[in-house]
């Protein structure tokens, strides 16, 4: 409620960003200029293939200020944690598959 500035609990719940994953899934293909054959399949069960997708990506630390960028490595504990969350979320979906691209944003905690 504090983050949104909406102090009515019922209304604040409706502004929760987790409800935006449907829209993200619909817009993903429109916002990407790559040819579709180069897209990584969201239902790929191979953890090593997922880890490779994160290799070399830049992430920003949230401590200490000033925030500093780090380059992710496919064999890091941080990437393993994200990949494991992706895989556990995928298998918990109906049929063990993400039905929409945006569903990946609902990662298991």
Among 39, 4, 45, which residue's Cα sits nearest to residue 25?
39
Range of lowest pLDDT (20-29, 40-49, 67-76, 89-98): 20-29
For residue 71, the enclosing domain spans: 9-105
Amino acid 76: pLDDT: 94
Q: Find tokens 């040819």 and name the residue.
A: 35
| Contact (CB, 8 A) for 72 and 59 | yes
Q: Is residue 96 part of a domain?
A: yes
Task: Name residues whose C-beta falls within 8 Å of residue 39's C-beta, 6 or more positions apart in sequence.
Answer: 32
Q: Is residue 36 part of a domain?
A: yes
Q: Is residue 40 part of a domain?
A: yes
How many folded domains does the chain comprise? Answer: 1
Q: Is residue 4 part of a domain?
A: no
Q: Is residue 31 part of a domain?
A: yes
Q: Is residue 1 part of a domain?
A: no
pLDDT tens track for 68-96: 888 999 999 999 999 999 999 899 888 99
* Between 65 and 97, residue with greater pLDDT: 97
Residue 100 has pLDDT above 90, yes or no: no
Q: How many helices (H) and strands (E) does the chain have?
A: 4, 2
């Amino acid at each position: 409620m504090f983050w949104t500035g909406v102090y009515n609990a019922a209304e604040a719940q409706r502004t929760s960003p987790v409800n935006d994953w449907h829209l993200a899934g619909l817009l993903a293909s429109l916002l990407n200029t790559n040819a579709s054959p180069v897209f990584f399949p969201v239902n790929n069960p191979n953890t090593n293939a997922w880890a490779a997708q994160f290799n070399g990506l830049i992430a920003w630390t949230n401590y200490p200020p000033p925030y500093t960028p780090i380059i992710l490595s496919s064999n890091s504990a941080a990437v393993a944690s994200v990949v494991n969350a992706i895989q556990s979320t995928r298998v918990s979906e109906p049929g063990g598959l993400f039905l929409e691209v945006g569903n990946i944003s609902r990662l298991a905690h």
